[in-house]
């Protein structure tokens, strides 16, 4: 057998470069390079290997390990899980900084290959710098934290273990069911050890995304349920995008006159101008979509895990309605006691469209859709319009961005009140123009995520909308975007604290406390007013502060003309949010409190709880 003698690190990088995916008849490399922050746990091993392949496998230097992993995850999401970036760190804090990002990727079912350095497999120099010593188990290191947040985890303690582990890693990263983070923990001595690897291991390999078809008995049952409906509603989730099934959804919805509501991950599945597109659903959804959900006799959930924001904590759907779940994952397809159709979304929609033939929903239902959409559009125009308010609302800021953006521009967000306003109000003209991480709703994802989106879609303008709270948590990849020449436009909304949670705090009967900076423990002069524009300029970006919506729109024009990353800061009102009807989210209320206001809130909470199935 022909062999090639390489170090573990060299073999790993050489193997990754030979992995290709067949997409629309074209062979595309699966890995677009690596993000790396070097330290003593990876600089000598993986650092050397990456340097040897720098012309064909680029290495990107970030400023924060969590941030670079967020960027890699955003890149994979924008690429519809068909291309990804590797992330490598040193041992200890460098590794654990990626654990939050791994959890984010796991929750959102997004692929990222994490290569944290680890302590010596030989244990000869133990304890090394940054090593965690477990007194009862010397095999444990901080990298064991990755186990619960990885779809696949392996600690490579001998070079030849790559031969078996790497194919499993690739299967996990590309599998539409198991897709998520893969962690290969790499002890620093093993990275540098040489082995005679089989030459066949480094031959070009072409992978394909599986598309399981429908089961005849399952689809027969689903067809019967849909044909019995007069008021059906589709809930489109992220699986529609990852299956590349937006055209099939459009055809299915149009042919059978079924309205489409969207989860955060499914947003953009239909163009907002489509008469059957009724917007976001659930706690952060549109009034139109939620009213239809309460009246629908059949709910067809496609490619969604139906988390609590989508179902309003299991209170949104009519108790007499039937729920159909179309999903490629067995774990998701049976949720909420649904009628399952286990299949690839694209294949399932094609089969349903064909089999339902000329069947359509009732005329009264389509009339109701049009009326509700018109009502919601009136609300949209009202809340997003400029006004003379001293402090603008989030909705007014989003309206300004939309008016000054092009249809292919991408909006990026993750946490706070902004994702809710975006889900309700952002009008998607393009299926790839909406990028909101709301599975983990991770503060600090926004700017790093914007960088990843720009790397994946350099031809598009990328708008990052971020609150002052999230900006303060993580902003370092703004400097990375400048360094790499990947321009993003950051709109920072400064409401002086955690405005979203302050509103939630008060809605649960509590007094404002420790969220807005004015309600925090501070010096007598109060918390400082942060100059976000000055901070951004210090990192190399262009930046300015504006005082009104008119000035914001003018600044956006300048930002779009700029050739480097650009930040615009604007003060906003922390107390205003767009009403979308009687939406409810289950947030537990204290059963005993000295605060009398909580008693009345508790009474309403207990009433809402009776609407849940158990």
Residue-level pLDDT at 582: 83
Summarised one tens digit per residue, pLDDT across range 191-218 is 999 999 999 999 999 999 989 999 999 9
Residues 537 and 594 in one domain: no
Residues 194 and 220 in one domain: no
Whole-angstrom Cα distance, residue 541 to residue 536?
5
Q: How many helices, marked H, and strands, marked E, lie in the chain? A: 24, 23
Residues 446 and 326 in one domain: no
Residue 31 lies in a domain: yes
Q: Which CATH number belongs to the domain containing residue 560 in this structure? A: 3.40.50.970
Which of 226-235, 380-389, 417-426 shows the lowest mean pLDDT across its residues?
380-389
pLDDT at 388 over 80: no
Percentage of the chain with pLDDT > 70? Answer: 100
Q: In the sheet that 19-23 helps form, which strands lie side by side, from edge to edge?
A: 26-29, 19-23, 205-207
Residue 578 lies in a domain: no
Exposed, middle or buried by CB within 10 Å (0-12, 13-18, 19+), for 358? exposed
Residues 246 and 352 in one domain: yes
Residue 310 lies in a domain: yes
Residues 557 and 461 in one domain: yes
What tokens does 279 get? 């917007």
Domain limit, last residue, from 325, 349, 375: 375
Longest dimension (CA), the chain: 79
Residues 43 and 132 in one domain: yes
Whole-angstrom Cα distance, residue 490 to residue 473?
15
Residues 118 and 142 in one domain: yes
Residue-level pLDDT at 244: 97
Residue 157 lies in a domain: yes
In 209-307, where does DSSP find H-type helix? Answer: 216-227, 238-242, 246-256, 287-295
- Angle made by CA atoms 69, 74, 80, in degrees to the nearest 5: 130
Residue-level pLDDT at 581: 81
Whole-angstrom Cα distance, residue 499 to residue 371?
33
Residue-level pLDDT at 102: 98
Residue 173 lies in a domain: yes
Residue 254 lies in a domain: yes
Residue-level pLDDT at 228: 96
Residue 317's domain spans which residues? Answer: 216-375
Whole-angstrom Cα distance, residue 52 to residue 57?
9
Distances (CA, A) of 590 to 399, 509, 604: 37, 10, 13
Number of domains comprising the chain: 4
Residue 164 neighbours by CB distance under 10 Å:
9
Whole-angstrom Cα distance, residue 314 to residue 287?
17
Residues 221 and 197 in one domain: no
Whole-angstrom Cα distance, residue 614 to residue 611?
8
Whole-angstrom Cα distance, residue 238 to residue 321?
23
How much is the average pLDDT of 314-322?
94
pLDDT at 171 over 80: yes
Residue-level pLDDT at 24: 82
Which of 51-55, 77-81, 592-596 shows the lowest mean pLDDT across its residues?
592-596
Summarised one tens digit per residue, pLDDT across range 94-131 is 999 999 999 999 999 999 999 999 999 999 999 999 99
Residues 239 and 96 in one domain: no
pLDDT at 90 over 90: yes
Residue-level pLDDT at 25: 87
Rg, C-alpha atoms of the chain: 25
Residues 228 and 341 in one domain: yes
Task: DSSP for 62-123, please give it.
Answer: -S-HHHHHHHHHHHHHHTTTSSEEEEEE-STHHHHTTHHHHHHHHHHT--EEEEEEE--SS-
pLDDT at 389 over 80: no
Residues 221 and 198 in one domain: no
Residue-level pLDDT at 423: 98
Residue-level pLDDT at 451: 98
Summarised one tens digit per residue, pLDDT across range 512-539 is 999 999 999 999 999 999 999 999 999 9
Residue-level pLDDT at 118: 97
How much is the average pLDDT of 11-35?
96
Exposed, middle or buried by CB within 10 Å (0-12, 13-18, 19+), for 585? middle
Q: What is the mean pLDDT of the chain?
A: 96
How much is the average pLDDT of 408-427?
97
Residues 360 and 312 in one domain: yes
Residue-level pLDDT at 482: 98
Whole-angstrom Cα distance, residue 321 to residue 314?
13
Residue 168 lies in a domain: yes
Residue 84 lies in a domain: yes
How much is the average pLDDT of 61-69?
97
């Amino acid at each position: 057998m022909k062999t090639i003698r390489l170090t573990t690190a060299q073999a790993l990088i050489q193997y990754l470069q030979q992995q290709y995916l067949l997409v629309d008849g074209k062979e595309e490399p699966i890995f677009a390079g690596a993000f790396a922050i070097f330290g003593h746990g990876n600089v000598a091993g993986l650092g050397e290997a990456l340097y040897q392949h720098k012309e064909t496998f680029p290495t990107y230097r970030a400023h924060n390990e969590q941030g670079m992993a967020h960027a890699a995850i955003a890149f994979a999401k924008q690429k519809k899980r068909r291309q990804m970036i590797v992330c490598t760190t040193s041992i200890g804090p460098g590794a654990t900084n990626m654990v939050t990002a791994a959890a984010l990727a796991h929750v959102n079912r997004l692929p990222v290959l994490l290569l944290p350095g680890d302590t010596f497999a030989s244990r000869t120099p133990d304890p090394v710098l940054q090593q965690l010593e477990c007194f009862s188990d010397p095999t444990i290191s901080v990298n064991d934290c990755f186990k619960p947040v990885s779809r696949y985890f392996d600690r490579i303690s001998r070079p030849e273990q790559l031969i078996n582990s790497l194919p499993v890693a690739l299967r996990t990263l590309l599998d539409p069911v198991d897709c998520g983070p893969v962690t290969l923990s790499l002890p620093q001595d093993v990275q540098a050890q040489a082995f005679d690897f089989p030459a066949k291991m480094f031959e070009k390999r072409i992978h394909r995304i599986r598309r399981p078809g429908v089961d005849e008995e399952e689809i027969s049952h689903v067809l019967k349920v849909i044909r019995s409906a007069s008021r059906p509603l589709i809930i489109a989730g992220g699986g529609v995008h990852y299956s590349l099934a937006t055209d099939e959804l459009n055809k299915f919805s149009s042919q059978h006159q079924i309205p489409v509501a969207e989860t955060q991950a499914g947003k953009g599945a239909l163009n907002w101008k489509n008469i059957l597109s009724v917007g976001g659903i659930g706690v952060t959804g549109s009034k139109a979509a939620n009213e239809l959900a309460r009246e629908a006799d059949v709910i067809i959930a496609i490619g969604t895990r139906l988390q609590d924001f989508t179902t309003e904590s299991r209170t949104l759907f009519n108790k007499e309605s039937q729920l159909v779940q179309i999903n490629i994952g067995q774990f998701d397809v049976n949720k909420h006691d649904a009628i399952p159709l286990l299949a690839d979304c694209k294949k399932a929609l094609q089969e349903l469209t064909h089999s339902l033939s000329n069947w359509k929903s009732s005329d009264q239902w389509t009339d109701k859709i049009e009326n509700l959409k018109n009502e919601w559009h009136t609300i949209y125009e009202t809340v997003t319009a400029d006004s003379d308010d001293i402090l603008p609302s989030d909705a007014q800021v989003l309206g300004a961005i939309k008016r000054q953006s092009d249809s292919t521009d991408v909006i990026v967000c993750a946490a706070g009140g902004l994702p809710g306003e975006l889900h309700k109000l952002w009008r998607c003209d393009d299926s790839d123009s909406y990028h909101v991480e709301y599975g983990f709703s991770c503060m600090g994802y926004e700017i790093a995520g914007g960088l990843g989106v720009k790397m994946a879609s350099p031809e598009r303008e990328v708008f990052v909308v971020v609150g002052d709270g999230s900006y303060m948590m993580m902003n370092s990849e703004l400097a990375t975007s400048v360094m790499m020449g990947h321009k993003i436009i950051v709109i920072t909304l400064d409401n002086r604290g955690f405005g979203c949670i302050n509103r939630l705090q008060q809605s649960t009967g509590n007094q404002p406390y420790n969220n807005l900076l004015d309600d925090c423990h501070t010096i007598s002069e109060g918390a400082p007013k942060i100059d976000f524009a000055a901070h951004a300029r210090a990192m190399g970006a262009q930046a300015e502060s504006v005082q009104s919506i008119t000035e914001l729109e003018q600044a956006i024009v300048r930002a779009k003309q700029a050739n480097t990353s650009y930040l615009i800061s604007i003060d906003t009102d922390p107390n205003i949010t767009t009403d979308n009807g009687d939406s409810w989210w289950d947030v537990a209320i204290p059963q005993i409190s000295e605060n009398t206001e909580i008693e009345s809130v508790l009474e309403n909470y207990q009433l809402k709880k009776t609407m849940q199935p158990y």
